[in-house]
Amino acid sequence: MEMWVLAVLFLIVGLMVGVLLGVALARSRARSATSVVELDALLAPVRENLESLRRSAEGANRDRAAAEAAITTQLTAVQERYAGLEEATVQLRTALAGGQTRGQWGEMQLEGLLDHAGLVEGVHYRRQDIRDSGTRPDIVVMLPGGGEVLVDAKFPFDAYWQSISETDDARRGELLRKHAGDVLARARELAGKGYSDVSTSPDFVVMFLPLESLLAVSLDADPMLLEKAFDRRVVLATPTSMVALLRTIAFGYQRQLMADNAEEIRAAGAEMLSRLATLTEHVEGMRRGLEQAVRGYNAFVGSYDRQVIVQARRLHEMGVEAPKGVPGVEPAAGDLRVSGGAG
């Protein structure tokens, strides 16, 4: 009996403990749910910021990828252009290695300056004009009023071109001195052709250097180069000095045209005065004829009055009626004069 009671008591105590544990667990769960909701509310701005940061990172990655692609494309284009430029440079160097090709390029540059100065081929200058001695300057510029300027467009280039890519200062200076020597040697060659001896040109020939630096570096290496060339009756000209010479020649043509026009105007004026003198003579003849006609007319009127009108009036007084009466004629009056004369 006592064992059964104890068992019941233990069961009741167990049920009560279970109930209490259930209640405690339920309250704990409720408090946990409330804490989760509160935590979610607190973490919501953080999650939004993290999401915004994620989207910004994704956009930055896309922009970076696009920028890398654009840079890659530009670098590829630059590499292709550099390769093309390098190839063109090699071709230019190869082309300018020959004296004839250099002369043709120099002629092209020179023709551009001639056109810029307003000079016309066949009118103001000729190309490749063969002299009596067999020499053939590249350009012959005719001077207004007579005379001509002979221009040679061939120029030394090899040593100058090598000096551009040379990194060693001593070697570069040696190449530039060689270039100055080549320029002087070309001047000697032109002097030996005796251009000015077989033409009406001034006592010199122009050696055209199509690049300003071709002369500048030569003068740095040999400051007396201009005088040495001019002693041989050769003038070294770059595009700047050449266009000044050509514009001066063009100005001379303009002045000559003005002088020619003035002479034509003078001749036309003299012809006009001569024609006016002839016309005045004709008018004077007409005046004399008119005066003679007036005198004849007035003589006729006087005779008409004396011989006809008097008799007509007598008939009228005698009773002869005329439908329009007795007509009278007035003499001509006025002084016909023409001023002027031949002059």
CA–CA distances in Å: residue 298 to residues 25, 60, 220, 306: 163, 120, 102, 12
Helical segments of 193-238, H only: 212-221, 225-231
**Are the beta carbons of 109 and 239 closer than 8 angstroms?**
yes
27 has pLDDT over 90: no
Calculate the dihedral angle through the C-alpha atoms of 125, 128, 129, 133, rounding to the nearest 10 degrees: 140
CA dist., res. 343 & res. 341, Å (int): 6
pTM: predicted TM-score of the whole model, two decimal places: 0.52
pLDDT, mean of residues 196-209: 75
| The amino acid at 197 | D
Least trusted range by pLDDT, from 72-86, 111-125, 236-250: 72-86
Of the candidates 88, 217, 212, 109, the residue with the CA atom closest to the CA atom of residue 154: 109
Q: Which residues are CB-neighbours of 162 under 8 A, at least 6 positions away? A: 175
Ordered by start, the domain boundaries in the chain are 87-237
CA 219 to chain centre: 31
Confidence of residue 264 (pLDDT cuts 50, 70, 90): confident
Q: Give the tens place of pLDDT for each residue, 149-195.
A: 888 888 888 888 888 878 888 898 899 999 999 999 999 998 888 77
**Are the beta carbons of 118 and 112 closer than 8 angstroms?**
no
